[in-house]
Amino acid sequence: MGAFSSTAPLIAVIVPTLAAVLIVLSRRRPNLREFWSVGASAAMFAVVLSILPDVLAGRYPEILLFDISPGISLALTADAAGLIFALSASALWIVTSVYSIGYMRTVGEKKQTRYYASFALCLASTMGVAFSANLLTFVLFYEMLTIATYPLVIHKETPGAVAAGRKYLAYLLTGGLVLIAAAALTYQYAGTLDFKPGGFLSQLGSQPNLMLLFVLFLIGFGVKSALMPLHGWLPTAMIAPTPVSALLHAVAVVKAGVFGFVRVVGFVFGPDLFHSIGAWHVLAVLAAITILLSSLLAMYQDNLKRRLAYSTVGHLSYIVLGVSLLSPLAWVGGLLHIVNHAALKITMFFCAGAIYARTHCENVSELDGMGKQMPITMGAFTLASLGLVGLPPLNGFISKWMLGQGALGADAGVFLGLLLLSGLLNAAYLLPIVRRAYFAKSDKRNRFGEAPLLMVVPLVLTAALALFLGLFPDGLFYFYRLASDTAASIFGGVSG
């Protein structure tokens, strides 16, 4: 039991990095370039999946990259929490790689070599974030992720895309600087940055200066997880190609932000200290405000991707809320929502991209009758919408149920009411899209039909995954088991 030396976490980072190099070298051979992208995604997933048996057995692969100074190093460790994030991102990179090929070919996007190479570097950075053994490694890989994503945000190189890229960098690099300051202050207090279940700052006791440290983490990870009012970059970044929005803004970049809160609350401060300094209440209230305001703003967005972007802002805060409630069940719900939201939201972005590629429709008001013209695509979108609302037997119900139970377990019933209200608001901005698609009459004479199979098959697979994880929360990848093990390690053996 415990950690053991292994190169597996490092290999998970190296595989997509090597793929980026091969993609650039294959720039004059499009088919080979696409092969490297799909092949690397499958290889990286295989490496991550190979770690699962050891982690389930309580054995965590780790590797020390190098020491910087006493108590400071760059190191990777695959624990249960990191594996949840890594499995989700690596599995969804496979379908996104296939989808990207169909999308880029159909839309005829330029600079595809840069696109695929940047995509691979983003996934390499994501694996580094997931498997970071300490705060410094986490922050460095996150900044690599920010920089690697920038070419994808400005991919179209229109004035709007360039402006969105500037805003993206301004927000996220500023957040990164704040996190570096937070890491430095943490080291000054504790003499270490190594993540520890239950937190390594807990030995300091409740001190006024710890609240300042929390505020720094709140700003840094609040920017990166789009916590209001630090969310402005995320809807603007939706100008990127749809596959970028699908994976990086529904799975990787912003999920790395909320994963930062997982690490800070559970592995830096610890539940007891986080509660004693009153930080839990601040974080929970900000998450609640974000959930409500983002849902209201989503209702007034006609652009489909912007509506989905505001939905993402809200659902990220479901995870933050679960972490802040400091209840084992709420933690399980929050960790499961990392996966469940990813499967649901990537399906919706895939559908939005398929609609655009086939019809060039970008707005909700243009989707009248789309259910008859693109029945498979809109069927998947409908299923994902019901999942985000929280209806069984879809996976969104499971994580929301656990969050609600966790709120009651934390004697914070008001947040259960918030979750119920937010479900109604989710329905208010998603179900009108479904109504238009199936029940509104269209004045379009052309019957568009479905997008190419390279786009349709991935969205069907992710929709099926959402249904599967709703019926079998612990099936295949043992996400429920991993979430429960994480909560048990943080709360001293109690996971339910």
Residue 45 has a pLDDT of 96
Give the least confident one: 236-250, 271-285, 346-360, 474-488.
236-250
Whole-angstrom distance, CA of residue 23 vs CA of residue 13: 16
Query: What is the rounded average pLDDT of the residues 243-259?
Result: 82
β-bridge pairing 59-69 and 72-77 = antiparallel
* Percentage of the chain modeled with pLDDT above 70: 96
Residue of higher predicted confidence among 156 and 456: 456
Whole-angstrom distance, CA of residue 468 vs CA of residue 91: 14
| Helix (H), strand (E) at residue 64 | strand 59-69
User: Is the dihedral angle over the CA atoms 337, 317, 410, 482 positive or is it negative?
Assistant: positive
- Beta-sheet strands, E only, within 368-445: none
With tokens 């499958």, the residue in question is: 42
| Helix (H), strand (E) at residue 377 | helix 375-389
Per-residue pLDDT tens over the stretch 310-325: 999 999 999 999 999 9
Check: CB of residue 40 under 8 Å from CB of residue 120.
yes
With tokens 């920089």, the residue in question is: 147
| Helix (H), strand (E) at residue 75 | strand 72-77
Preceding omega of 229 cis (within 30 degrees of 0)? yes
Q: What is the pTM of this model?
A: 0.93
**Amino acid (one-letter) located at 223:** V
Q: Which of 363, 390, 221 is nearest to 295 (CA)?
A: 390
Residue 292 has a pLDDT of 94
Torsion angle, CA of 376/381/382/385, rounded to 10 degrees?
Answer: 170
Residue 495 pLDDT level (bands cut at 50, 70, 90) = very low
Tell me the β-bridge partners of 63.
76
Q: Residue 375 gets which letter from DSSP?
A: H
Residue 205 pLDDT level (bands cut at 50, 70, 90) = low
Taking the CA of residue 312 as centre, how many other CA atoms within 13 Å lie in the half-sphere pointing to its CB?
Answer: 38
Residue 405 pLDDT level (bands cut at 50, 70, 90) = very high
Residue 324's alpha-carbon distances to 177, 297, 317, 400, 466, in angstroms, are 23, 24, 10, 15, 25
Instruction: Name 356's Cβ contacts closer than 8 Å, sequence gap at least 6.
Output: 107, 242, 362
Query: Domain residues of the chain, as ranges?
Result: 2-490
Residue 44 CA to its chain's centroid (Å): 18
- Reduced to 3 states, what is the DSSP secondary structure of residue 63? strand
Residue 119's alpha-carbon distances to 46, 188, 381, in angstroms, are 18, 36, 24
Let me know if 79 is exposed, middle or buried by CB neighbors in 10 A (0-12, 13-18, 19+). Answer: buried
- Reduced to 3 states, what is the DSSP secondary structure of residue 54? helix
Per-residue pLDDT tens over the stretch 334-343: 999 999 999 9
Tell me the β-bridge partners of 194.
134
Range list of H helices, 440-477: 453-471
Instruction: Name 463's Cβ contacts closer than 8 Å, sequence gap at least 6.
Output: 347, 379, 380, 383, 384
Per-residue pLDDT tens over the stretch 42-79: 999 999 999 999 999 999 999 999 888 877 889 999 99
Residue 494 pLDDT level (bands cut at 50, 70, 90) = very low
Residue 158 has a pLDDT of 86
Whole-angstrom distance, CA of residue 441 vs CA of residue 458: 28
Whole-angstrom distance, CA of residue 92 vs CA of residue 251: 8
- Reduced to 3 states, what is the DSSP secondary structure of residue 4? strand
Residue 496 has a pLDDT of 40
